[in-house]
């Protein structure tokens, strides 16, 4: 954090960050956005508006764009609740280190760059979904089993827990990465999004590979992601989830027909 990065000072841990109007407004706006995204996700799943997303057989630009757009909305619904403390603290720090009238743009950029990175993950996820859809049933089942085992193993890895600790410790993250201004907002937002992606990418793979983006799996994975980041024993939750995924993957490898049950459970997005 060299002095040339920004004229805005680093956050001071000795100065308490209160829940002022800026913080509460940030919470309110993000909750409204997340709530609207969840309404869309549930409505689309129940109405089966995105049914093609699990049955794409060949890459198509239009269907790919629809997939990525739907994925972006779903990521906003799933990831914003767990990111609320980080974004709200960022707004509160800006309120204490800069003019309140200049807080809105950096906070907006921070949030948008966070969501933009998750939106970009929809591109490889789309191609992975296409590849999975063209596999023979038995090959697909073993592929799903492998994805579950890989995801579960990552949940138990040191890298997972390094990224998770960064997500669970907002103030410590800002102490190590603070940069002021709109350029700083982009840099910090990108860094935080990268840690969040490093923490949760395996669960997103499970969402597509095992759950076919079904509503039940969306709700389950969202609950796990939020619990890992916000609950006091979130790191233990990651371990339990990892063990469960490895065992589920082994079960699918032994009983390939379970893959059909996993991917067929509930309306698909």
User: Minimum mean pLDDT among 41-50, 74-83, 230-239: which range?
Assistant: 41-50
Q: Are 200 and 164 in contact (CB under 8 A)?
A: no
Residue that has been written with the tokens 């079960």 in this structure: 251
Whole-number pLDDT of residue 228: 93
Q: Are 224 and 141 in contact (CB under 8 A)?
A: no
* Of 28 and 231, more confident: 231
Write out pLDDT tens, residues 85-94. Answer: 888 888 888 7
Q: What's 102's DSSP letter?
A: G
Write out pLDDT tens, residues 13-57. Answer: 444 444 456 567 777 888 888 888 888 888 877 776 444 444 545
Helices (H), 156-264: 158-168, 170-177, 181-209, 215-230, 234-254, 257-264
Look at residues 226, 195, 201, 266 and name the one whose alpha carbon lies nearest to residue 48. Answer: 266
Beta bridge partners of 214: 268
Task: Read off the tokens for 86.
Answer: 């980080």
Whole-number pLDDT of residue 116: 92
Tally the C-alpha atoms within 13 A of residue 205's C-alpha that lie toward its C-beta: 23
Beta bridge partners of 268: 214
What whole-number distance in Å separates Cα of residue 37 and Cα of residue 262? 24
Helices 170-177, 61-97: inter-axial angle, 10-degree rounding:
80
Task: Read off the tokens for 88.
Answer: 């709200």
Tell me the torsion sign for CA atoms 173, 178, 181, 185: negative
Dihedral-angle region of residue 183 (phi above 0 means left; psi in -120 to 50 means alpha; beta otherwise): alpha
What whole-number distance in Å separates Cα of residue 29 and Cα of residue 26? 5
What whole-number distance in Å separates Cα of residue 102 and Cα of residue 173? 22
What whole-number distance in Å separates Cα of residue 157 and Cα of residue 9? 35
What whole-number distance in Å separates Cα of residue 216 and Cα of residue 85? 26
Average pLDDT, the chain: 80
Tell me the torsion sign for CA atoms 203, 205, 207, 209: negative
Is pTM beyond 0.85? Reply is no
Q: Cα angle vertex 103, ends 101, 105, to 5°?
A: 105
* pLDDT exceeds cutoff 90 at 96: no
What whole-number distance in Å separates Cα of residue 91 and Cα of residue 80? 15
Q: Are 238 and 158 in contact (CB under 8 A)?
A: no
């Amino acid at each position: 954090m060299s002095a040339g990065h920004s004229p805005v000072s680093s956050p001071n841990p000795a100065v308490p960050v209160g829940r002022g109007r800026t913080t509460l407004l940030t919470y309110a706006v993000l909750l409204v956005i997340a709530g609207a995204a969840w309404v869309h996700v549930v409505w689309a799943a129940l109405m089966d508006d995105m049914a093609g997303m699990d049955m794409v057989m060949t890459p198509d630009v239009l269907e790919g764009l629809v997939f990525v757009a739907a994925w972006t909305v779903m990521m906003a619904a799933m990831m914003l609740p767990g990111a609320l403390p980080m974004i709200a603290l960022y707004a509160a720090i800006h309120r204490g280190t800069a003019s309140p009238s200049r807080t809105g743009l950096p906070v907006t950029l921070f949030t948008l760059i966070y969501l933009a990175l998750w939106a970009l993950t929809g591109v490889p996820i789309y191609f992975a979904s296409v590849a999975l859809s063209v596999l023979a049933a038995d090959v697909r089942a073993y592929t799903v089993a492998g994805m579950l085992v890989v995801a579960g193993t990552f949940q138990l890895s040191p890298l997972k827990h390094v990224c998770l600790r960064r997500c669970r410790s907002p103030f410590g993250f800002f102490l190590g990465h603070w940069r002021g201004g709109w350029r700083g907002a982009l840099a910090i937002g990108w860094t935080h999004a990268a840690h969040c992606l490093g923490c949760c990418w395996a669960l997103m793979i499970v969402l597509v590979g095992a759950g076919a983006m079904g509503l039940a799996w969306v709700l389950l994975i969202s609950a796990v992601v939020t619990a890992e980041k916000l609950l006091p024993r979130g790191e233990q939750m990651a371990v339990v989830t990892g063990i469960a995924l490895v065992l589920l993957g082994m079960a699918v490898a032994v009983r390939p027909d379970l893959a059909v049950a996993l991917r067929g459970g509930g309306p698909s997005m």
